[in-house]
């Protein structure tokens, strides 16, 4: 149909040392919702993490993945960014989906601020910060796509 909006879901990921926060867009690509936090015992144990992301990508029928890239404030890349880029390559091989790196500077700060405003305790904040950071990463990507 002419003028019909395309429906394309996108998965947003906040890749941390022992967790991955996951968010998904609505079918119209307007808003991001938090899905879950994938936890692993060790930083280098990524097989189950990738398998879970693959399951979520299939379940939500996503067409692309947005992965937060942790840059330093001076725009340089450190060890965490290098690990993120390696994870990107792993995800592309596993899911056969395009994985876009997205500058995530200040998303954790923004997530903390949002949780402070919501009155969450330190324990509650620790529980939710990765998922909220994933939502903020994906939402900023969606907003940029919408606004060109």
Q: pLDDT class for 5, splitting at 50, 70, 90? A: low
Sequence-ordered alpha helix ranges (H) in 28-77: 47-59
pLDDT class for 137, splitting at 50, 70, 90? very high
Domains (range + CATH), the chain: 9-147 (3.30.420.140)
CA distance 14 to 108: 9
pLDDT of residue 124: 85
pTM equals: 0.88
d(CA 52, CA 114): 27
- How far apart are alpha carbons 25 and 35 in whole angstroms? 10
Query: Using one digit for the tens of pLDDT, what is the confidence trace for 42-91?
Result: 888 899 999 999 999 999 999 999 999 998 888 889 999 999 999 999 99
Residues 106-118, mean pLDDT to the nearest whole number: 82
The sheet carrying 19-25 orders its strands as 32-39, 19-25, 9-15, 62-69, 99-103
Mean pLDDT of the chain: 90
For range 121-147, the mean pLDDT: 89
pLDDT, mean of residues 112-137: 88
Residue ranges of the alpha helices (H) in 96-121?
107-117
Q: Higher model confidence: residue 124 or residue 51?
A: 51
**Residue 114 predicted with pLDDT over 60:** yes
């Amino acid at each position: 149909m002419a003028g019909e909006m395309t429906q394309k879901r996108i998965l947003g990921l906040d890749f941390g040392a022992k967790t991955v926060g996951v968010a998904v867009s609505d079918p119209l690509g307007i808003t991001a919702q938090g899905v879950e936090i994938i936890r692993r015992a060790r930083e280098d144990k990524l097989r189950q993490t990738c398998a879970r992301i693959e399951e979520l990508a299939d379940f939500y029928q996503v067409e692309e993945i947005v992965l937060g890239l942790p840059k330093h404030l001076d725009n340089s890349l450190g060890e965490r960014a290098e690990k993120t880029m390696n994870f990107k390559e792993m995800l592309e091989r596993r899911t056969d989906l395009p994985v876009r790196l997205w500058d995530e500077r200040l998303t954790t700060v923004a997530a903390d601020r949002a949780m402070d405003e919501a009155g969450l305790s330190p324990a509650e904040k620790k529980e939710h910060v990765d998922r909220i950071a994933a939502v903020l990463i994906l939402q900023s990507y969606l907003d940029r796509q919408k606004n060109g």
